Structure 1
Amino acid sequence: MTAKISELIVEANEGVTTLRLNRPQRRHALSLSLLQELEESLQKIAQDHSVRVVVIASDGPVFSSGHDLGEMQGCSEEEYQKLFSTCARVMQLVRNLPQPVIARVQGFATAAGCQLVAACDLAVASDQAQFATPGVKIGLFCTTPMVPLVRNVAPKIAMEMLLTGKPISAEKALAAGLVNAVVPVDQLDDAVKEYTSAIVASSRQTLAIGKQEFYAQLNMDESHAYDQAVNVMTKNVLQHDAQEGMSAFLEKRTPQWEE
């Protein structure tokens, strides 16, 4: 009997955990089983203080083609609800994870694959990457991918992608705010490492506080955002790592983080 190959490869190296989508024969489509593996892995990572930053990656010409249409055809309402609900939980886990999450996008990211990129905190793309929400072409509006997409890019850009289904280039995605950097494909890993190295050098505790507050204040008016930020920063500065960081700066030494 042939053992089932995992649809998600988990690689850990010096504080960086890479979640590598592993369905090359299906263009790394987000099957229900792959989404469930992602959900389980992200839940474990959230509790693992040795993980400082997460990278979501894949190999080949496609980052992720979105949901697996072969799997989706002819399902019941309950099955569709389960698939889309699981996907929504995964995207929110990425957003709510204490650790920063970086998408490493080497190729096409379409539909729920584009959604996954938009859900990540940072995204680094190769100059060969393209992004699309092409559901309209098969009669299925990319409603769930729309949620993080419109929280990353201007409404007009999001609507262009959603209404036409046409892909945008990596450079346009950069200008629109969907990705942070675009580099030649042979420099992609180095570009990702620049981000992971900077993040790993910082306090996990501090990054978790900051990431949570960043998203919490986005939908607040300025006055309420400041009220909350003052309270969060006050609690932050009382933490060990903030006190240690200030002392290390004044003493001109490398800080020793508690986390």
Structure 2
Amino acid sequence: MDDQPQLLCEITDGVARLTLNRPKRRNALSLSLLQDLQQELTRLGDNPDVRVIVLGGNGPAFCAGHDLSEMTGRDEADYRELFSTCSAVMLQLRQLPQPVIARVHGMATAAGCQLVAACDLAVASEAAQFATPGVRIGLFCTTPMVPLVRAVPDKVAMEMLMTGQPLNAERAREVGLVNRVVREESLDAAIDEFCQAICSASPMTVRVGKQAFHRQLPLSEQDAYNDAVDVMTENAIQADAQEGMSAFLEKRKPTWTDR
């Protein structure tokens, strides 16, 4: 019996590194792992010292999706609980005040690909691959589809969902599923660049910006502008915005107060 925790968390200099730790199962998302993720994300979301969250995985894969060994012969209530919990975790990633960066070093399949699409940013190694192959086993990747179609063009998403064929890392970058592709040995350095840039900004401004970004996505252009005007007006009168503008004019480094 493996007594290792299935989810690891380390917080250093404002960066929380969450690591899926079921390497023998390719970090498959069992119900218990999803529940652990919910609890840990809630805890991190409430921690004002955490500025960025990096989500990665141990072993050869980033995440192989749902744990199929736990999915056969279940009743409707079991399936509904599993998919509802998974969907709640994906929404939680969007709703957290901190940006979430996917660290993808290997295969991201089905709900693993969903995790990548649900994160705010993603950095992949050259060896990473991305697939939604449920159609091959009679279980269409319907819940992974939700963030996928919001991350890549419709026809790319349909190709992935209907054929199950994987995208390599460079193709994933081309279509917008990941931000950067680097050699595996450079993966952490590339992620650190994002983390340092985010941590150098006002926490209040990053928090407001992430919320506004995701809120306006489903809106019409006019409604999005209406919301953006309200948000930017409220943002402009805050102490950190006033400090940032003054610091720029005075050619000095700003001092943030998270207000």
| Normalised-by-shorter TM-score class | over 0.9
In 2, Cα distance between the equivalents of 1:183 and 1:3?
33
CA contact (8 A) 2:22 2:58 kept: no
Corresponding residue of 1:239: 238
CA-CA distance at 1:11 after TM superposition: 0.6
In 2, Cα distance between the equivalents of 1:114 and 1:87?
13
Corresponding residue of 1:127: 126
- TM (normalized to structure 2)? 0.97
CA-CA distance at 1:227 after TM superposition: 1.1
Q: Deviations over 1:109-158 (max 9, x none)?
A: 00000000000000000000000000011100000000000000011000
Q: Secondary structure at the match of 2:165?
A: coil
Identity over aligned residues, as a percent? 59
Corresponding residue of 2:178: 179
Corresponding residue of 2:157: 158
In the alignment, structure 2 segments of 5+ residues that lack a partner are none
- TM (normalized to structure 1)? 0.97
CA contact (8 A) 2:29 2:67 kept: yes
CA-CA distance at 1:215 after TM superposition: 1.1
Root mean square deviation, CA, Å: 1.1
CA-CA distance at 1:50 after TM superposition: 0.3
Q: Deviations over 1:181-204 (max 9, x none)?
A: 001111111111110010011111
In 1, Cα distance between the equivalents of 2:36 and 2:239?
35
**After TM superposition, which residue ranges in structure 1, 4 or more long, deviate above 3 angstroms?**
none
Corresponding residue of 2:253: 254
Q: Which moved more, 1:19-28 or 1:241-250?
A: 241-250
In 1, Cα distance between the equivalents of 2:127 and 2:47?
34
Aligned pairs (5 A) from 1:64-75: 64-75=63-74
Corresponding residue of 1:100: 99
In the alignment, structure 1 segments of 5+ residues that lack a partner are none
Q: Secondary structure at the match of 2:62?
A: strand
CA contact (8 A) 2:102 2:122 kept: yes
CA contact (8 A) 2:20 2:57 kept: yes
